[in-house]
């Protein structure tokens, strides 16, 4: 009976530790919904944009950027992604910036609206850390960049 209890307790402890490790890796993002007075929308991503940022931008653009007009097009471009990693006291810092351009126009080209902007985000990690933790910091900072983009765009429209 004691051995069965020990095996059950070990299994329970192993499952609890595994679930906690998985839950700390999840990144919670709060993307804002934006609406445009056009019929069609298109997202353009330049080659320098990393895969994680492209995936988040595609998710945001497909699910949170709404079109509710009867005429016109929207072209949303992300470009000039920059990532700088620097040493700080007992750690590392990552600075990320991304430029964007929003162009809306009607079919007769009489009404054009252009918004150009840049979003920046940073993250730091200090003490003893594994490369996996630093990779998670980079992903969190990239996620924050897209969240800031959605907030900034919502406030400019």
Q: How far out from the chain centre does Cα 88 lie?
A: 24
The total domain count for the chain is 1
**pLDDT value of residue 4:** 43
**pLDDT value of residue 29:** 78
Is 131 part of any domain? yes
| Structural domain boundaries, residue 107 | 38-156
CATH number at residue 63: 3.30.160.150
Residues in CB range of 85: below 8 A, 6 or more apart: 92, 93, 94
Q: Calculate mean pLDDT across residues 93-100.
A: 95
pTM, full prediction: 0.76
% pLDDT > 90, the chain: 56
């Amino acid at each position: 009976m004691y051995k069965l209890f020990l095996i059950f307790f070990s299994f329970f402890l192993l499952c609890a530790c595994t679930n906690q490790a998985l839950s700390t890796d999840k990144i919670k993002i709060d993307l804002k919904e934006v609406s445009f007075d056009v019929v069609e929308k298109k997202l353009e991503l330049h080659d320098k944009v990393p895969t994680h940022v492209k995936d988040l931008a595609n998710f945001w653009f497909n699910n949170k950027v709404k079109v509710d007009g009867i005429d016109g097009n929207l072209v949303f471009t992300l470009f000039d992604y920059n990532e700088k990693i620097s040493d700080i006291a007992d750690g590392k810092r990552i600075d990320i910036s991304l430029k964007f351009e929003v162009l809306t126009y009607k079919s007769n080209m009489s009404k054009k609206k252009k918004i150009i902007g840049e979003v920046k985000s940073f993250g730091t990690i200090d003490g003893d850390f594994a490369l996996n933790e630093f990779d998670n910091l980079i992903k969190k900072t990239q996620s924050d960049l897209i969240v800031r983009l959605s907030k900034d765009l919502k406030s400019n429209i």
